[in-house]
Structure formats: structure tokens, C-alpha cells
Amino acid sequence: MNHPSKSFASQADLAVKRISFERLSEHAYAYTAEGDPNTGVVIGDDAILVIDTQATPAMAQDVIRRIREVSDKPIKYVLLSHYHAVRVLGASAYQPEHIIASQETYDLIVERGEQDKASEIGRFPRLFSNVETVPPGLTWPTLTFSGRMTLWLGKLEVQILQLGRGHTKGDTVVWLPQDRVLFSGDLVEFDATPYAGDAYFQDWPQTLDRIAALQPAKLVPGRGAALQTPEQVAAGLSGTRAFVSELFEKVQAGVHAGADLKTVYRDTYEQLAQRYGHWVIFAHCMPFDVSRAYDEAQGHADPRIWTAERDLAMWQALEGQ
């Protein structure tokens, strides 16, 4: 594989993305930006729920501005689909009454929130625009649940569900049964590469099957355009499933053959680039994804903590010339 030495993670990604704010149903909106992390909005009878917050309060202000163009109801709830800093550090801008997360997500914040915050800010400088607006410390949920909870926004039923592990062990989706709209967080991506540095590769496909079983008519992925038809939803699910499955199968074969991590990385990169290389953040994600898959294939059940130092050491080991 003869690709040029790449800048670390997304440090060279400086292009401003075009933002869309689309109405998907009577209650559901999608805030998307050409492969940057998405935010979901649910407008109920008496209150608003925001799903994933953007990376900083300054960036969250643009979400709030878009919401205020369509509703003056109070933003009472923020839901964290998982613990990654790029999803949660904008929470303070909404001044919500409650920040909701799964208990596993809370536990991950306790275990590795500080390290993840430092790691992600180093990886994604553009996404942490005005990072000085992030309050000191971490973003802490005020309501946690296990398995499922139901939020009633007046007469609108909002189901908050853990359908299984995949992107992280705390993954949470939001399902509007009346509207048949699902917000998946990073369990589903569309034309964007799944980040799998904290993944459970062997669980992820089954979790996607549970999403499919709900038969959503529309779906807001973690990255990529909102999926507006059942056919587009199926394409998002199958594309994510294929990437995760193919990557793990390739890495597992390399581990079983006794290959070292760098050899497995280069072989896996070369194979997956043919089909997925055009997806957003492919070159960013692959070193992290293969490192985690290599660990899981060796029997390490849970992901190791990524620190800023581990990030750079791993990148140099796999991408250094």
C-alpha cells in the first residue's frame, strides 16, 4: 500500500461543511453537515429533546438558532447517544433540565471521559471550534436508565432504547413510534466511515438487526444525510453492517494467521479502501478501527482506553513511514 504519509487523524480537515436542517415528520428534525456529527431534534407538545449536542457550546448555538426558527418551546432534555466528547461537550448551551444517558454511558464517562476528551480534541481541531466555550470538567448525565425508558412530551411518546452494543457499550437510540423515525447515533452511518475504536465488532451486526426490526420509515444516522425512505434506511443499515463485518473478518483472519498489527492494518486498509475509501473520515478511522478489531480478535473483550498519547503512538506505528 503506497499512500502518502497522512496528517494525524483529522488535523488537516479544515473545510467548513454545509449545514442542513430538515423536517422529517411532524415532530422530528435532523441537523446534518456533510459527514460531520449529526444532531437530532424532537419537538413534542410541551418540550423539546435534543439528541447529541455538537462538540462545543459555540457550535450548539447554531442548532439552537435553527430550532428557534421552527419552535419556541423549551429545550428541556438532552439525550447522549453515547459518551464521545464530540457528541456531548456542547450540552451546556441548551441549559436543559435533564441530560439523559444509559447507565453504561455514565460508567464510561467515569472510567475514561477525561482521556477521551483530550484525545478527541487532538483528533478533530475543526469540530472543537471555540473549545474554550466548553465548561471545565465533564458533561454529566442527570438521568440514567438501563435497557429502555419512555419520555412523554405531552402526548408524544419518545422511546429511549438500548438495542445492544456496537459503536460503544452504552449505545442508545431514540425511537418515535407514532412517526416511525429513529435516531441511531453512531450505530448507523451513511456514506461515512464507522469509527470503531471503542466498538464491539461481534455484537454490532445483531444490534443493527434490532434497529431494522423496528422498521423505521426514516432514520437519522450519526454521520451522513438523513435517510428519508425505508429503502434509504435499509441502505444505511446494510452499508454499516457490511463495513463492520468485513473489517472484523479481515482482521480476525490476520490474527489467526499470526500476522502482526501493522501487517493486518495495511492488508485491511487496502481491501476496504476499494469499497469504502470514498466514505467520509475513512483514513481517519481505519487505524483506530483496526487496532480495536485486532484486540477483540485476540480475545480482549472490552476496548482499551484511548489517550492522546496512545493515539499518537498508534498512528505513528501504523502510518509512519
Q: DSSP characters for 14-68?
A: -PPPPPEEEE-SSSEEEEEETTEEEEEEEE-SS-EEEES--SSHHHHHHHHHHHH
Are the beta carbons of 163 and 210 closer than 8 angstroms? yes
For residue 254, how many other CB atoms are within 10 A of its CB? 22
Confirm whether 15 is domain-assigned.
no
Burial label, 163 (beta-carbon count in 10 A; 0-12, 13-18, 19+): buried
Which pLDDT belongs to residue 125? 87
Which pLDDT belongs to residue 17? 78
Give me the CATH number covering residue 42: 3.60.15.10
Confirm whether 258 is domain-assigned.
yes
Chain segment 101-133, per-residue pLDDT in tens: 999 999 999 999 999 999 999 998 888 988 999
Confirm whether 289 is domain-assigned.
yes
Confirm whether 193 is domain-assigned.
yes
Confirm whether 1 is domain-assigned.
no
Per-residue three-class SS string for 135-182: CCCCCCCCEEECCEEEEEECCEEEEEECCCCCCCCCCCEEEECCCCEE
Q: What is the distance between the alpha carbons of residues 185 and 51, in angstroms, rounded to a whole number?
A: 8
Confirm whether 285 is domain-assigned.
yes
Q: CA of 3: how far to CAs of 14, 38, 101, 254, 314, in Å?
A: 21, 30, 40, 21, 17
Chain segment 247-300, per-residue pLDDT in tens: 999 999 999 999 999 999 999 999 999 999 999 999 999 999 999 999 999 999
CA-nearest of 285, 88, 79 to 199 is 285
What total of structural domains would you count in the chain? 1
Confirm whether 13 is domain-assigned.
no
Helix, strand, or coil (residue 11): coil
Which pLDDT belongs to residue 110? 98
Are the beta carbons of 105 and 83 closer than 8 angstroms? yes
What are the mean pLDDT values of the chain's consecutive 10-residue runs (321 residues total)? 50 72 98 94 98 96 98 98 97 98 98 96 88 94 98 98 98 98 98 98 98 98 98 98 98 98 98 97 96 98 96 93 65
How far is Cα of residue 121 from the mean position of the Cα atoms in its chain?
15
Which pLDDT belongs to residue 14? 56
Domain holding 75, by residue range, is 20-319
Q: What is the distance between the alpha carbons of residues 32 and 39, in angstroms, rounded to a whole number?
A: 7
Which cell numbers in the block locate residue 262? 501493522
Confirm whether 2 is domain-assigned.
no
Task: Give the CA angle between residues 304, 306, 311 to the nearest 5°.
Answer: 130
CA-nearest of 38, 35, 19, 286 to 173 is 38
